[in-house]
Amino acid sequence: MTDLTPITALGAKTARKETYDALTLSENPELALASLALRRDQTPPSPFGLRLPDPGHCADKGSVAAFWTAPGQWMIEAPGRANEDFAARLEEEVPGGSISEQTDAWTAIEITAKNSAALEALMQKLVNLDPAQIAPGHAARTGLEHMSVYLIRRSETHLAVMGMRSFAAALWHALVTAAARIDQTA
Amino acid sequence: MLIPHPLLGLRDSQEFTYLGDAALMDRPDPAGGNAEAAFTDYVFLRDNPAGVHRELWFHEQGDRSWLVVTRDTVTHEILGAELARDVKLNEEGAQ
């Protein structure tokens, strides 16, 4: 039988992680993702007990999280469950919704910082958004060096950047280059 | 240039792509008696006002919603933006 070795989006056997003075960037290959779109006139459900967030926001409850992507559409996240059929679990929670498996279509880079100022300084370099639009509890989709990304501010000192898997290396390069420069000027 | 997205607030116009006149939303009835003339007008003829213009913008690097943006073509001032979906639903509701 063919011997297949799973690799992460950045091409290694283990997730990449780099630390700078105030910022730590790590690849998160264990994140299960599924998108949820409601049909017309469907009542917004509460999958896994989660209240689906309002436009521009993210929310989490227990082991699952969600962020708003478009009117009537959300991405549901489950950390550490990439090896499960997460879309099928979600389908059980939301009968009648339109659900697509998204795990591994995206690469998530988790950025943790010593303080929120370091995160904001990094984003000032990279995206053209008002800081209030990526305040804690907010999520946004925007352009970052001509790549479309989701920014999910999980907490004051934690921001996830999610880009398409096909340009994971370019996204990683953009983020670490900016992070290293924050370091030098801090 | 900033576009006041009705759901997401002020967003950079670089996140958007432009389609054109919002009148494109009102597609003529292909089964109507004057369909040929109506479609010639719909496909080829555009108003080109110097002043207030309603136009369609797509929030491509955002939530991918279509907006009807009211813009002054002389000053580039953006006077307002609404979801194209709401505009259409309101029109249908009014009929």
pLDDT for B95: 72
Instruction: In whole angstroms, give the CA distance from residue B7 to residue A110.
Output: 26
In CATH, what number does B2-94 get?
3.30.2270.10
Q: Is the Cβ pair A130, B85 closer than 8 Å?
A: no
Summarize pLDDT for A108-130 with one digit per residue, the tens: 999 999 999 999 999 999 999 99
Interface contact A124, partner B, CB < 8 A: no
CB atoms within 10 A of CB A18: 14
Distance from CA of A109 to the nearest CA of B (A): 19
pLDDT for B1: 87
pLDDT for A184: 60
Please provide the average confidence, as pLDDT, over all residues in chain A: 94
Q: Is the Cβ pair A71, B7 closer than 8 Å?
A: yes
Residue of B nearest to A70 (CA): B63
Residues A34 and A87 sit within 8 Å (Cβ to Cβ): yes
Instruction: In whole angstroms, give the CA distance from residue B70 to residue B61.
Output: 20
Contacts of B12 in chain A (CB under 8 A): 128-129, 142
Q: Is the Cβ pair B61, A56 closer than 8 Å?
A: no
Reported ipTM exceeds the 0.90 cut: no
Instruction: In whole angstroms, give the CA distance from residue A176 to residue A18.
Output: 8
Task: Over range A48-53, report the average pLDDT.
Answer: 95
pTM: 0.91
Task: Over range A26-37, report the average pLDDT.
Answer: 96
Inter-CA distances, A73 with A38, A39, A65, B84, Å: 6, 10, 14, 17
pLDDT for A6: 87
pLDDT for A183: 65
What tens-digit pLDDT sequence spans chain B (95 residues)?
Answer: 899 999 999 999 999 999 999 999 999 999 989 999 999 999 999 889 999 999 999 999 999 999 999 999 999 999 999 999 999 999 888 77
Q: Would you list the domain boundaries of chain A?
A: 17-185
Distance from CA of A112 to the nearest CA of B (A): 24
pLDDT for B93: 83
Residues B62 and B15 sit within 8 Å (Cβ to Cβ): yes
Residue of A nearest to B63 (CA): A70
Summarize pLDDT for A158-179 with one digit per residue, the tens: 999 999 999 999 999 999 999 9
Class of domain A17-185: alpha beta
Residues A25 and A107 sit within 8 Å (Cβ to Cβ): no
The owner of tokens 């991405």 is: A75
Structure tokens at A166: 């096909």
pLDDT for A5: 87
Q: What is the DSSP letter of A57?
A: B
